[in-house]
Chain A
Amino acid sequence: MVSPSQKPPVCNNMAAPGRHVGHYIQRNSRFLIHNFEQLWGHRSFGWTPALRQQVAEANEESTGTIVIPRKKTWSKEAVLEALASTVSRDPTAYSYQFQDDPYLSPRTSSEFKLYSLSQESGRSAAKFFVNSNSKFFTKDFAEPHIPCLMPETVSLLLEEQSEEALKERINLRKVTAAVDMYDQLLQAGTAVSMETTHELLDLICLYCDRDPVQEGEPQPEDMEESGEEVKKRKGRFRRASDFLRFTWRENNNAERIFNLLPERDTRCYSALIRGMVKHGAYAKAFSMYTDMLNNRMTADVHIFNALMSAAPDVRDKYNERWDLIAELLNQMSQQKVQPNLLTFNSVLKALRRCGSLAKTQALHTLNEMKAVGIAPSLASFDHILAVFSKAGGFVSSPASSGQGNTDILQEVMSELAGTSFTCQDPNDVLFFSSAMRICLDNKDLELGYKVHSLVEQGENWRLLGDPYQQSIYYGRFFNLLCMMEHIDVVLKWYRRLIPSLYYPNPQGLRDLLQALDTDSRLDLLPTIWKDIRTLGHDNKSDLVEELLTLMARDRHGPEVQEAFAVCALDVKSVFDGDRGRHSLEWSTSALSHITSLLLRANKSQQAWEMLQLFKTKNRVPEEGLLEDFLSMYHSAGSSQRAVELVQLSASFCLSATPRLAKRTLAEFNLTEEQRAVLSELESTEEPSD
């Protein structure tokens, strides 16, 4: 490294003085340093390429042949997905679906619901119109042909008795028509193929021998269509109850056709058992299963999944329930049926209703999943969380159970951190809100942040579920923040979440007000009031009262008081204005809070008007308030007003009137006339007391 060629001449020259050597050494060392620096630089910058080269060389040496890389196939959305990944959420904007019409920007949760549902129902109405009047929509404009823009056939075309006609009815999900056709075919002596029979049984069992509620708009559900989707989402809860109403009837068409079948295979049993479990005939499902076993048939995984979820309903005791599940699982392995995710999820779901047994068994089930090589979905973890939060309550004190609860959530979160999910189980969407509930119950902010970062991972936000679930989740998260976090951070989240993701309810806003109070940032109240108005919560009397109380409680600097007074006038206008909906009722405290706020900002005229309001609304002002008035008039030197005030007080029949009159007499410069009035008030009121 050190160039030796430089040295010898120097050192050979013995006559050179020593300092020269020192000098040279110095120079050399400098040179050395430079060398080293360069080397180091090379090291650090050149490291990776060098490594790669090495690897490449190694590859070439080892294989010696050229390996052509496999062709990478891209999906047709690849470009769009790449572009979409560059767009992040704008917390100041409304949701994308409302962006084409600013007039329809929803400001409250009810508006959000109304607009989104009307948007979707408009779409499905158009779809319905096109489908039911397909003869008017025959022109195909699109080149190449776009099938989903063309009307679908929704009416029956085949009228004759044939298996084709039966298939058509099945595909269009006309349950009763299909059953009729099947009966006609049987009577005519035509044999129906096994496959069609399976489909028919599936159809009848799925819809419980009823035509599905489709508002005259039947369409195959595999054609995913957003309009239909949201409309169904709206009616989801109603629909669930619909299914409960359609209880499995004894000897319905499914059972009748099943009994008429010359030979029954597993698939037939599967349809029947699944239908029975789906529609609440649990005991019947189990007897059907025994029947099947007696006929020496093996069940399929769907049968077991259905029976597993029905197990808690056919047994009363916790240990009996678990024994039944364990027996089913053993039968599964005996019949060489491989479990799937849904199997274990239904086991875990059933364990939620198994009391104290559940804790250990849930963990064993989870380990079984791992052993079999099935990755648990969010629903599995949701069930486990539920098991641990419930079972703990029975055994020990709530505090310690909460502890165990966060522990298990802690572990689940460390297991899940950084993964992004797709929906595999309809119950997946319940995980986040229940996890956040645990965080909220235990006031564990850190864990809450962990849960939220998981939500923000990848496409996980889609698993927050429908808008209702989503608002529950964000409500809990925001509540936790208000409770535990510093107000600046709370406001940061407030601006990020509201209103683009979350429309807080009055309780959420009250939490925010309390957080402001705790960290004494009451000066922000006017801005929060504006948000309250925008969110449409200005008609919630307790929220408004709370806001006014907080504003009126302490005295602040003049600017803050000025802002408060403006805000108070705004609140007053809300009370006054009648906007066609339930308006607020003036309460004494609201009136006096607004009045005192106005007084503090020296808005005497408006305050005086407020005082008149007391009278019109039949409310009685407090004495302290009148005292405040008097002091203000004293400092302003308006004696006339003071006299009027005392007169007003007298008209309210306040006991404090004589005292006020006395004070006015003592402190103000009054005319004779005023004096007379006041002294009269002072004297007359006293005996009446």
Chain B
Amino acid sequence: MYRLLFRTVYTARNSSVSVYESCVLPAKCNKATAPVSRVANGGGIKALSTSSVRFCEKKNDDTPSNQDQKTNADKEADPTETPTLVTQKAEDASNVINMVEQREEEPVLLKTDDGSTTQQQVDVKIEQVVATPQQGKTDAAKSGKESLLDLLGAMKVEVTNKRKLKNLKVKPSYESTPKSKPAAMESTISMFQKATVEASSQSETLDPELVAAASAAASTLPDRSQAESELLRQLRQHEGVTEAQKKGDMNNLGVIIADMKVGKNPNRQNARPANQIRFDEDGRGYTHDRGITAELDSVRRRKNLFSGKRLNVFSPTTDEDGVESAVARPTLWDMDYANQLSLSTNQTPRNGLEEMIQWTKEGKMWQYPINNEAGLEEETSVPFHEHILLGKHLEEGFPRQGPVRHFMELVVAGMSRNPYLTVQQKQDHISWFRDYFHQKEEVLKEADVYLN
């Protein structure tokens, strides 16, 4: 029972499709279970899934159901990917429809003998959908019958895609339980597979959306696989025609004409007669090749300016020579050339700002600051510590301690915070004090404040 519980947990985590997949399987495994499952269908999904799993548990040994669940797990990706593309409401509906779809699938598989028509299925579907609200599926009811009908077509695209996968993947599990599979059903499955394989091979050149739409449309017809393949073939033909018409220019015509020539004269198809009408690649018309123009033609026809031969005179060298010549002082000729260049171009300013640029270049205008060191031209070479660390200038000429020293330290501290003086001015300031205190040394000594 634990196992059963675990399994149900597992199935419930999958989407309804996979839930139902487990439901279908028992139906296939044992025909006798079909009525039961159908009843279960009527009853509700929950009951159905439990019953199905139970059936699996009962009728088969562990392996098929395990495999089955593995496939379910594989397909978990499917429902999780697709919802992102669908709106929330459509998602609501899709759940319902997926369920419906499973139900619809059941009759197909069960009634393989009488080859039930899809029309009937649709009827069944609608009946079932109508039935579901009555059975208490209130959340499904908010999408009405009409919208459901509309959505059915769209959803089926998804389902058919899925089914393709499903068929491919589920098959091994079927084969592992051959005894429980009726022959008729096998044929149906193989037919399905064939159809999908065929469709996939055909759909190589077609848009996947188109293929999906085609298969959706085909599923509404009696013989769906054949219809699908026919539809796809038609589509491909159309695509071929449009492709041909898209390219339908002179070039194409040229090919046709060339073909005709081949038919006439098959042994000379490679050698082009010199006087043959040739069509321009760009379809502008045809040109007669004449002997003398042939060479020029080839020049004209050159796709890229730089793809031809070169003179082969110079070899690309390193830049050493160029650098050397650039270093030399500009001669009068260079000045004259530069002047010519500036005369030939239009140098008039277009707006006030450009005029200001011109003035800046001529040196008439103060430059706009480009960093916070604008106007500090003469101080640019001086490192900042020359400004800040002025203590070294007190090393000589001043007493080591005492009031004078104290005073000078204050002076230096103040100056180190002054951004408006240059270093030279600061040094001058200090040396002025040095001189001053030297001059007053006597006085200071008398007052006993000059300590050295």
Contacts and interface: CB of A to CB of B under 8 A. Distances in A.
The answer to whether A and B assemble together is yes
Given A29-B79, A29-B91, A32-B83, A11 B12 contact: yes
Interface stretch (B119-127, B160-168, B368-376): B368-376
Given A84-B357, A221-B335, A14 B50 contact: yes
Contacts of A25: 12, 15-16, 19, 95
B44 to A, nearest CB: 3
A462 B351 CA distance: 14
Interface string B127-170: 00000000111011000000000000000000000000000000
Contacts of B316: 371-373
Given A224-B342, A338-B322, A17 B46 contact: yes
B348 A95 contact: yes
Interface stretch (A102-110, A421-429, A542-550): A421-429
B331 interface: yes
A19 B139 CA distance: 9
B436 interface: no
A84 B351 CA distance: 8
A462 B346 contact: yes
A83 interface: yes
Nearest to A381: B305
B351 A37 contact: no
Nearest to A145: B363
Interface residues of B, number: 94
A68 interface: no
Contact of B92 (A26, A411, A466): A26
A25 B45 CA distance: 11
Residue from A11, A81, A408, A470 with most neighbouring chain B CB atoms (10 Å): A11
A87 B351 contact: yes
Interface stretch (B24-32, B110-118, B248-256, B296-304): B296-304
B346 A76 contact: no
Contact of B287 (A274, A333, A371, A400): A400
Interface stretch (A2-10, A130-138, A184-192, A503-511): A2-10
Contacts of B196: none
A148 B346 contact: no
B333 A206 contact: yes
B233 to A, nearest CB: 36
Interface string B346-383: 11111111111110111110011111000000000000
A583 interface: no
Given A26-B92, A26-B95, A236-B343, A80 B45 contact: no
Residue from B84, B139, B292, B305 with most neighbouring chain A CB atoms (10 Å): B305
Nearest to A343: B314
Interface in A634-666: none
A97 B344 contact: no
B338 interface: yes
Interface stretch (A59-67, A310-318, A359-367, A530-538): A359-367
Nearest to B356: A80
Contacts of B312: 368
A206 B332 contact: yes
Contacts of B355: 96
Contacts of A333: 313-315
Contacts of A37: 84
B270 interface: no
B336 interface: yes
Contact of A19 (B45, B302, B357, B367): B45
B352 A330 contact: no
A18 B80 contact: no
A617 interface: no
A407 B300 contact: yes
Contacts of B452: none
B332 A199 contact: yes
Interface string A138-166: 00000000111100000000000000000
A619 interface: no
A96 B308 contact: no
Contacts of A199: 331-332
Contact of A470 (B5, B296, B343, B346): B346
B46 A20 contact: yes
A367 B308 contact: yes
Contacts of A429: 344-345
Given A29-B15, A404-B300, A411-B304, A426 B46 contact: no
Contact of B360 (A76, A206, A407, A412): A76
Given A18-B49, A146-B364, A232-B343, A96 B349 contact: yes
B299 A368 contact: no
Interface string A379-398: 00000000000001001100
Contact of A89 (B139, B310, B350): B350
A51 B296 CA distance: 52
Interface in A450-469: 461-467
A77 interface: yes
Interface in A186-213: 198-199, 202-203, 206
Contacts of A23: 139
Contacts of B95: 22, 25-26, 29
B346 A33 contact: no
B13 interface: yes
Interface in B314-346: 314-317, 321-322, 325, 330-333, 335-336, 338-346
Contacts of B271: none
A203 B332 contact: yes
A79 interface: yes
Nearest to A428: B344
Contact of B313 (A329, A359, A428): A329
Contacts of B368: 76-80
Contact of B311 (A301, A368, A462): A368
A211 B225 CA distance: 99
B43 interface: yes
Contacts of A423: 341-342, 344-345
Nearest to A405: B300
Interface string A161-182: 0000000000000000000000
Contacts of A364: 308-311
Contacts of A336: 321
B439 interface: no
B13 A7 contact: yes
Given A330-B313, A371-B310, A395-B296, A146 B357 contact: no
A229 interface: yes
A222 interface: yes
A363 B299 contact: yes
B99 interface: yes
Contact of A338 (B79, B321, B361, B370): B321
B329 to A, nearest CB: 9
Residue from B331, B341, B355 with most neighbouring chain A CB atoms (10 Å): B331
Contacts of A615: none
A395 B292 contact: yes
A2 B80 CA distance: 10
Interface in B43-69: 43-50
B369 A79 contact: yes
A442 B223 CA distance: 62
Interface of A: 1-2, 4, 7-8, 10-12, 14, 16-26, 29-30, 32-33, 36-37, 40, 74-81, 83-84, 87, 89, 95-97, 146-149, 198-199, 202-203, 206, 220-222, 224-226, 229, 232-233, 236, 271, 274, 301-302, 326, 329-330, 332-333, 336, 338-340, 359-361, 363-368, 370-373, 392, 395-396, 400, 403-404, 407-408, 411-412, 415, 423-426, 428-429, 461-467, 470
10 contacts: A19-B44, A29-B95, A76-B370, A199-B331, A206-B336, A360-B299, A395-B296, A404-B300, A423-B344, A463-B345
The 4 A-B residue pairs with the shortest CB-CB distance, nearest first, are: A18-B46, A18-B44, A367-B310, A84-B353
Given A76-B360, A149-B364, 15 more contacts: A17-B46, A18-B45, A19-B135, A22-B95, A26-B139, A80-B368, A96-B352, A221-B335, A224-B339, A229-B347, A359-B299, A404-B296, A423-B344, A461-B346, A462-B345
